[in-house]
Amino acid sequence: MESEGTSVLLDHIHQPEDLKRLTVEQLEQLAAETRHFLVEKLSVTGGHLAPNLGVVELTIAMHYLFDSPKDKFIFDVGHQSYVHKILTGRKDKFDTLRKYKGLCGFVKRSESEHDVWEAGHSSTSLSAAMGMAVARDLKGEKNRIVAMIGDGALTGGMALEALNHIGHEKRKLMVILNDNEMSIAPNVGALSHYLARIRSDRHYVKAKEEFEHLIKKIPAIGGTLAKTAERVKDSFKYLVVPGVWFEELGLTYLGPVDGHNLPLLLETMKQADKVNGPVLVHVITTKGKGYSPAEADSHTWHGISPYKIESGQVLKTVGPPMYTEVFGSTLIELAKQDERIVAITPAMPGGSGLLGFAKEFPGRMFDVGIAEQHAATFSAGLAEEGLKPVFAVYSTFLQRAYDQVVHDICRANLNVVFAIDRAGFVGPDGETHQGVYDMAYLRSIPNMVLMMPKDENELRHMMKTAFEYNEGPIAYRYPRESGLGVPMDETLQPISIGTWEVLRPGSDAAILAVGPMIPLALEAAEAMSKEGVQVRVINARFIKPMDEAMLLQLAKEDIPILTLEEGAELGGFGSGVLEHYSQHNVYGLRIKIIGVPDYFVEHGSVKEQRKEVGFTAERLVSELQALVPRRRQRA
């Protein structure tokens, strides 16, 4: 750690204006204290440590030079906003970080007037900043718009679209490119700093224009000399200016600048503020700066569980493997049997469990960066040529590729396999990451097959099912949690498409449960049995197509039905059951749908999120009691 002991300065920082009384030397001490605070607090709560350690000086510089909330700070993704939260009056709430009803791990407008843009998905900041800049100008206001975006997020197509528009409009706007993937050689940094100063200085720009005007006045040769000078100038610019691409787009480029050198950073940002138009400040930072375990392995420490500060040992609970781990190991197993299998991820090889696959099959693993749309259509191209692409993606990030799933994959009926991780509630990541919408939007697309396992063993069989299926797109979804600890079959067998299974017999009512809701359904059924009501529990493992034979049999028996899903109640699995009966002209059945209500569920533990929306045995028992006719209940 760069600093130990008490927070001499940090204890007196309650709002951004408190920074402005400090000297630059004191700001450097404040940066060290802030790092110590982050490492200490996140060792208990967990969270995004490495990204925030990397932007300490950068965030301090922004608040020191500018005036939030009048000046708008827009953080791309928002997981690197912890320092911003500390400096804007939320330091004392960090013990509640990412906990239920506590401090959000992302920017959140309801928390503070200093939070002006919410985002859990990347590459949105520049478009939002452009909208705010235009609104400012139309209203005749003079505030600054500052957007911080990472080098990874810049690969997102939306960010590139926004850069194109920003350069075209020429409005005053500052983009800070937080680049934590490259280093600066001292001579390159010094040269770039010199060029940044002279190229942003209005006197230099005016002198250059006057010089070119004088050359053109020379009789006979002035025009030729001017053209030659222009070519020489451009050649020199292409040789020494690393940001020429941004300049060609219409942004003034400053940098690269060391993001941990506060005096240099402050000077560069002051120069950037003088530019009357869009300017991009290229800042080089180190993820995990100041805490050696995070610096050595910024990937692991990007989002971390609680840990021991001294050793960096992550505190993990012992238990069954995560569904993600089961997916990763099973994919390797199947890929050894079928060389057509390839894996695609949009910048989440670790989170999606693909690091082992990448090591085993480096030529068959494709990390396309933060580009979900490209990943989907890239998968379509692979499938078109006879390969077996597995698009491994978080449920929340698949939303970003909806058009490509519809237009490029399902419409063409291409045999792409979707491995949808983080399906259902995601706990501390909260409302921007909840995987509760994919069932509703995927089941509405023609040609799609969608399934979810009751346990980790069934996930393995579903993966086998997907690879033997050749008739179009197929998806299996699985939660962000550990498996149930069930025995794992060595031999994998495909499951007949569109078939469900009865897990518990019963003739008084039926629960059609999906995935992680099955243990809850079994618990409720057991409670009802003590009242003399026998509830049939069905593993509705195929969301699409549904088991029509079983649904029609339930209707024939006139059994009350309760559907249970950890997905959006509107348009989800339960809606599909109603649609089925409507299509078959079956009326008069007693059906109750239980799913995620029509609002965004905030961060907390998965257990707390499920309790909030009513996923409890007590609620299921109450609903079943209301469904089952009295004659079927014990008097």
DSSP letter string over 106-135?
S--TTT-TT-----SSSS-HHHHHHHHHHH
Say what the pLDDT of residue 3 is.
43
Can you tell me the distance from the alpha carbon of 544 to that of 132, in angstroms, rounded to the nearest whole number? 42
Say what the pLDDT of residue 298 is.
86
Greater pLDDT, 235 or 495: 495
Q: Which helix (H) or strand (E) covers residue 573, if one does?
A: helix 573-583
Per-residue pLDDT averaged across 564-587, rounded? 97
Per-residue pLDDT averaged across 451-461, rounded? 98
DSSP 46: -
Q: Which helix (H) or strand (E) covers residue 146, if one does?
A: strand 145-150
SS (H, E, C) 341-405: EEEEECCCCCCCCCHHHHHHCHHHEEECCCCHHHHHHHHHHHHHCCCEEEEEEEHHHHHHHHHHH
Say what the pLDDT of residue 187 is.
34
Query: Looking at the predicted structure, is the pLDDT value of residue 208 above 60?
Result: no
CA dihedral 212, 213, 217, 218 (to 10 degrees): -20
Query: Looking at the predicted structure, is the pLDDT value of residue 38 above 90?
Result: yes
Q: What is the CB neighbour count within 10 angstroms for residue 603?
A: 27
Q: What angle do CA 14, 18, 24 make, to 5 degrees?
A: 130
> Crossing angle of helices 157-169/125-138, nearest 10°?
30
Per-residue pLDDT averaged across 9-14, rounded? 95
18: helix, strand or coil: helix
Q: Residue-wise over 587-601: b if at least 16 C-beta within 10 A, else e?
A: eeeebbbbbbeeeeb
Per-residue pLDDT averaged across 219-223, rounded? 57
Say what the pLDDT of residue 2 is.
42
Query: Looking at the predicted structure, is the pLDDT value of residue 389 above 80?
Result: yes
Greater pLDDT, 556 or 186: 556
Averaged pLDDT of the chain: 90
Query: Looking at the predicted structure, is the pLDDT value of residue 456 above 90?
Result: yes
Say what the pLDDT of residue 189 is.
43
**pLDDT tens digits, one per residue of 143-160:** 999 999 998 888 788 999
Is the sign of the CA dihedral 61, 66, 67, 71 positive or negative?
Answer: negative
Can you tell me the distance from the alpha carbon of 586 to that of 583, in angstroms, rounded to the nearest whole number? 8
Say what the pLDDT of residue 156 is.
84
Say what the pLDDT of residue 194 is.
43
Are 495 and 452 spatial neighbours (Cβ–Cβ below 8 Å)? no
Q: Phi and psi of 470, rounded to 5°?
A: -125, 15
Q: What is the separation of C-alpha 160 from the centre of its chain, rounded to a whole number of angstroms?
A: 18
Can you tell me the distance from the alpha carbon of 171 to that of 43, in angstroms, rounded to the nearest whole number? 42
Are 155 and 370 spatial neighbours (Cβ–Cβ below 8 Å)? yes
**pLDDT tens digits, one per residue of 59-103:** 999 999 999 999 999 999 889 999 999 999 999 999 999 999 999
Q: Which helix (H) or strand (E) covers residue 551, if one does?
A: helix 548-557
93: helix, strand or coil: helix
Are 153 and 370 spatial neighbours (Cβ–Cβ below 8 Å)? yes
Cα-Cα end-to-end distance for the chain: 69
Q: Which of 538, 606, 527, 528 is nearest to 566 (CA)?
A: 606
Share of the chain above pLDDT 70, in %: 89
Are 185 and 258 spatial neighbours (Cβ–Cβ below 8 Å)? no
Per-residue pLDDT averaged across 537-562, rounded? 98
Of 178-187, 204-213, 305-314, 511-520, which range is least confident?
Answer: 204-213
Say what the pLDDT of residue 228 is.
53
Burial class for 4, CB neighbours closer than 10 Å (0-12, 13-18, 19+): exposed
Say what the pLDDT of residue 155 is.
79
Greater pLDDT, 391 or 369: 391
Burial class for 138, CB neighbours closer than 10 Å (0-12, 13-18, 19+): exposed
Q: Phi and psi of 84, rounded to 5°?
A: -55, -40
Say what the pLDDT of residue 269 is.
97
Say what the pLDDT of residue 263 is.
96
Q: Which of 475, 482, 436 is nearest to 452 (CA)?
A: 475
Can you tell me the distance from the alpha carbon of 202 to that of 432, in angstroms, rounded to the nearest whole number? 43
Say what the pLDDT of residue 282 is.
93
Per-residue pLDDT averaged across 395-412, rounded? 97
Query: Looking at the predicted structure, is the pLDDT value of residue 235 above 80?
Result: no
Say what the pLDDT of residue 152 is.
84
Say what the pLDDT of residue 630 is.
67
Say what the pLDDT of residue 120 is.
87
Query: Looking at the predicted structure, is the pLDDT value of residue 424 above 80?
Result: yes
Which residues lie closer than 8 Å to 483 by C-beta, 6 or more apart? 320, 321, 322, 323, 326, 455, 456, 457, 459
Q: Which of 396, 479, 392, 481 is nearest to 438 (CA)?
A: 396
**pLDDT tens digits, one per residue of 501-543:** 999 999 999 999 999 999 999 999 999 999 999 999 999 999 9
- Band the pLDDT of 206: cuts 50, 70, 90: low
| Residue 148: strand pairing partners | 75, 176
Can you tell me the distance from the alpha carbon of 177 to that of 255, in angstroms, rounded to the nearest whole number? 10
SS (H, E, C) 455-488: CHHHHHHHHHHHHHCCCCCEEEECCCCECCCCCC
Query: Looking at the predicted structure, is the pLDDT value of residue 563 above 70?
Result: yes
Can you tell me the distance from the alpha carbon of 442 to that of 552, in angstroms, rounded to the nearest whole number? 24
**Which strands, in side-by-side order, build the sheet including 509-513?**
501-504, 535-539, 509-513, 561-568, 591-596
Can you tell me the distance from the alpha carbon of 512 to that of 518, in angstroms, rounded to the nearest whole number? 9
Say what the pLDDT of residue 405 is.
98
Share of the chain above pLDDT 90, in %: 81
Are 250 and 268 spatial neighbours (Cβ–Cβ below 8 Å)? no
Query: Looking at the predicted structure, is the pLDDT value of residue 227 above 50?
Result: yes
Per the listing, tokens 């718009």 go with 145
CA dihedral 624, 626, 632, 634 (to 10 degrees): 90
Query: Looking at the predicted structure, is the pLDDT value of residue 476 above 90?
Result: yes
Of 201-215, 493-507, 518-532, 553-567, which range is least confident?
Answer: 201-215
Query: Looking at the predicted structure, is the pLDDT value of residue 212 above 90?
Result: no
Per-residue pLDDT averaged across 173-190, rounded? 65
Residues marked active site are found at 287, 372, 400
Query: Looking at the predicted structure, is the pLDDT value of residue 232 above 60?
Result: no
Can you tell me the distance from the alpha carbon of 12 to that of 89, in angstroms, rounded to the nearest whole number? 11
